[in-house]
């Protein structure tokens, strides 16, 4: 099993330790781990280049491509984030803004519909 972990914070708090316990039980063969905003520093600017010209034309492609590849090859996606006023952290919301195209009807990646995800 290959797992991608997306942490909506840079610190290793409660959510991080809960996921660490889960990972110890699953014993994956490979883990990709990203901490936001450290590994994903740029905000989505809402230019819709991903919709109009394709994902390779996104302004922040160099940061996005590493994470996108990890998501593509993973069997399980795990998202952790602190909750602020009943919402996810700003870095996590930014991450989801960059990747919305993978799960909507505009240019969906079929493989993403069959992945297991933990939030």
Question: Measured between alpha carbons, how far is 54 from 57 in angstroms, rounded to an integer?
Answer: 6
Q: Which residue has the tokens 């996810």?
A: 88
pLDDT at 103 over 70: no
Q: Do the beta carbons of residue 89 and residue 31 sit within 8 Å?
A: no
Report pLDDT for 63.
78
Question: Measured between alpha carbons, how far is 80 from 83 in angstroms, rounded to an integer?
Answer: 10
The percent of residues above 70 in pLDDT, for the chain, comes to: 88
Question: Measured between alpha carbons, how far is 40 from 89 in angstroms, rounded to an integer?
Answer: 13
Handedness of CA 63, 66, 72, 75 (dihedral sign): negative
Task: Share the mean pLDDT of the chain.
Answer: 85
Question: Measured between alpha carbons, how far is 94 from 79 in angstroms, rounded to an integer?
Answer: 13
Report pLDDT for 118.
66
Report pLDDT for 20.
92
Span 25-81, pLDDT tens digits: 999 999 999 999 998 888 888 888 888 888 788 888 877 888 989 998 999 999 998
pLDDT at 7 over 90: yes
Q: Which residue has the tokens 């994902």?
A: 55
Q: Do the beta carbons of residue 5 and residue 31 sit within 8 Å?
A: yes
pLDDT at 6 over 90: yes
Cβ atoms within 10 Å, residue 72: 13
């Amino acid at each position: 099993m290959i797992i991608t972990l997306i942490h909506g914070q840079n610190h290793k708090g409660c959510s991080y330790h809960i996921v660490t316990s889960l990972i110890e039980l699953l014993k994956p063969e490979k883990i990709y781990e990203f901490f936001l905003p450290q590994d994903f520093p740029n905000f989505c600017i809402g230019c819709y280049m991903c919709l109009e010209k394709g994902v390779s034309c996104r302004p922040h492609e160099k940061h996005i491509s590493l994470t996108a590849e990890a998501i593509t090859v993973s069997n399980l996606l795990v998202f952790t984030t602190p909750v602020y006023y009943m919402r996810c952290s700003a870095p996590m919301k930014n991450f989801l803004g960059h990747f919305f195209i993978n799960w909507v009807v505009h240019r969906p990646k079929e493989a993403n519909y069959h992945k297991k995800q933990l939030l």
